[in-house]
Amino acid sequence: RSGGLFNELSNIIAINADGIAEGVAIGGDRFVGSVFIDNLLRMESNPKVKYMILLGEVGGTEEYKVIKAIKDGRITKPIIAWCIGTIAKYYDSGVQFGHAGASANAESETAEYKNNAMAEAGIFVPATFNDLPAKIKEVFDSLDIAPIPEPEMNTVPKVRRSKQFICTISDDRGEEATYAGFPISSVATPDTGKGIGDVIALLWFKKQYPKWATDFIETVIKTVADHGPAVSGAHNAKVTARAGKSVVEALVTGLLTIGPRFGGAIDGAAQYFKYADDNGLDPKAFLKYMKGQGVPIPGIGHRIKSLKNPDLRVTGLMDFATENFPSTPLLDYARTVEALTTSKKENLILNVDGTIGILMVDMWRALGYSEEEINEFIESGTLNSFFIVGRTIGFIGHVLDEKRLAMPMYRHPMDDILYDVQVAEEI
């Protein structure tokens, strides 16, 4: 009778038998369009229907018409039935359930009475509604019904398209955007005690770093912010700015020079020195290994600085690490390598790129990252990203300087160019 329970019953049948040939929810009103006996007699004459299931409820006498049809032979197929509402007997007064017709006006209309009457007539009646699935399976299995070939079903298209992007670092859907779960206001202002190092830790690594680590990150960024106008990146940015291009266009031309020969040795230094340390290579074995690779040691060597003219940026970074890091094993190893390289040539010192890369590995190890995680940081270009962030400050400074000084279009002096043009040969 219940439309809602009809859905549940259909699911129970599908799970415990082979599906449904026909189903009708006649409704729980007092006056309905059809009753149990009308539909069961029609199903009795349908050869596709092997057994029938009736789900009644408290109220009314329609179940007795089915019992009479069984007794006089008009219905011969097995019937499984249950009337819901057996709880009504536990109430002191009459109970009106949700349906208009779900109210017993006599004992014969109670669910318990009708269940007993149907069981006496040979209908399969479970002990409770919870036992109905097992009863359906029991009757279905006993009938030895030939399996029905399952048709090939069409693939249902996805209702929702897959996401184009996944973001795990920030969320702008709430009242306030967050960095790795922390509201921007909790890290943005000076009174929070947080700096740009804390923001980088949240957005790059999704972690809260201790102060010594965030201070080191900020020290690195400030250290590499600029190194004068002569380096390739600053030169490009200045020339582009003098061509009348915007700040962002001039900045990009400077950033695009960052690579293995300019500012991009941080990743390489971390990679090779970490490899040597991981594999237990002593300094001499490491130099031999790098010679076999056919590449200079990243992070070693400087065009201007040497043992006699040390790079104070490197000195500052090393002093900070010595005073604040829990330990610096990779830096200690790199210093022994530097002792060998400078014995051959005084300018083969640990440069700022090498120092940053090596100390970043020491920092991550002290923070508890696994070697696999550190390798992933290196391979993804994380270390060079610190140089990119820092040097962006300097590049923008040079661009603004050119604009402030209203410098004219740059043209390189011809006396600084060697022209060696040969007449093209005919082929």
Same structural domain for residues 209 and 322?
Answer: no
Q: Is residue 52 part of a domain?
A: yes
Where in the sequence numbering do the catalytic residues fall? 99
Find residue 124's DSSP bridge partners: 80
User: CA-CA distances (angstroms) from residue 401 to 189, 233, 238, 251, 388?
Assistant: 28, 15, 8, 13, 20
Task: Find the mean pLDDT for residues 22-29.
Answer: 85
Q: Report the number of distinct structural domains present in the chain.
A: 3
Put simply, whether the predicted model's pTM sits higher than 0.75 gets the answer: no
Same structural domain for residues 11 and 111?
Answer: yes
* DSSP states of 215-276: HHHHHHHHHTS---SSSHHHHHHHHHHHTT--HHHHHHHHHTT-BTTBB-HHHHHHHHHHHH
Q: Specify the long-range contacts of residues 37-40, CB closer than 8 Å, at least 24 apart.
A: 37/62, 37/65, 37/66, 37/69, 40/66, 40/69, 40/75, 40/79
Strand 178-179 with 170-171, pairing: antiparallel
Position 31 scores a pLDDT of 78
Residue-averaged pLDDT of the chain: 92
Half-sphere exposure of 176 (CA within 13 A, CB side): 11
Q: Is residue 345 part of a domain?
A: yes
Span 199-218, pLDDT tens digits: 999 999 999 999 999 999 99
Task: Find the mean pLDDT for residues 221-244.
Answer: 95
Higher pLDDT, 259 or 382: 382
Q: Is residue 421 part of a domain?
A: no
Q: Is residue 394 part of a domain?
A: yes
Residue with tokens 């209309």: 109
Q: Is residue 87 part of a domain?
A: yes
CA distance 180 to 169: 5
Same structural domain for residues 119 and 196?
Answer: no
Pick from 223, 252, 284: which residue ends a domain?
223
Position 383 scores a pLDDT of 93
Strand 79-84 with 52-57, pairing: parallel
Q: Is residue 152 part of a domain?
A: no
Pick from 188, 223, 258: which residue ends a domain?
223
Position 1 scores a pLDDT of 73
pLDDT exceeds 80 at position 25: yes
> CB under 8 Å to 141, separation ≥6 — which residues?
none
Same structural domain for residues 134 and 25?
Answer: yes
Which domain does 384 fall in, by range?
A: 232-404
CATH number assigned to the domain comprising residue 100: 3.40.50.261
Same structural domain for residues 398 and 251?
Answer: yes
Helix or strand or coil: residue 84? strand
Span 300-342, pLDDT tens digits: 998 889 989 999 999 999 999 999 999 999 999 999 999 999 9
* Contact assessment for residue 170 and residue 178, using Cβ atoms and an 8 Å cutoff: yes
Pick from 106, 127, 142: which residue ends a domain?
142
Same structural domain for residues 349 and 304?
Answer: yes
Give the angle 344-223-251 at the CA atoms, nearest 5°. Answer: 110
Please name the helix (run of DSSP H) or strand (run of DSSP E) that holds residue 182, with its range, or none.
Answer: strand 182-183
Q: Is residue 358 part of a domain?
A: yes
pLDDT exceeds 60 at position 101: no
Same structural domain for residues 245 and 330?
Answer: yes
pLDDT exceeds 60 at position 100: no
Q: Is residue 422 part of a domain?
A: no
Same structural domain for residues 190 and 284?
Answer: no
pLDDT band for position 75 (cuts 50, 70, 90): very high
Same structural domain for residues 332 and 352?
Answer: yes
Position 265 scores a pLDDT of 85
Position 277 scores a pLDDT of 93
Same structural domain for residues 303 and 324?
Answer: yes
Position 351 scores a pLDDT of 92
Position 2 scores a pLDDT of 77
pLDDT band for position 58 (cuts 50, 70, 90): confident
Same structural domain for residues 194 and 72?
Answer: no
Paired tokens of 288: 């031999």
| Number of residues that make up the chain | 427
Same structural domain for residues 272 and 242?
Answer: yes
Least-confidence region, from 2-16, 120-134, 313-327: 2-16
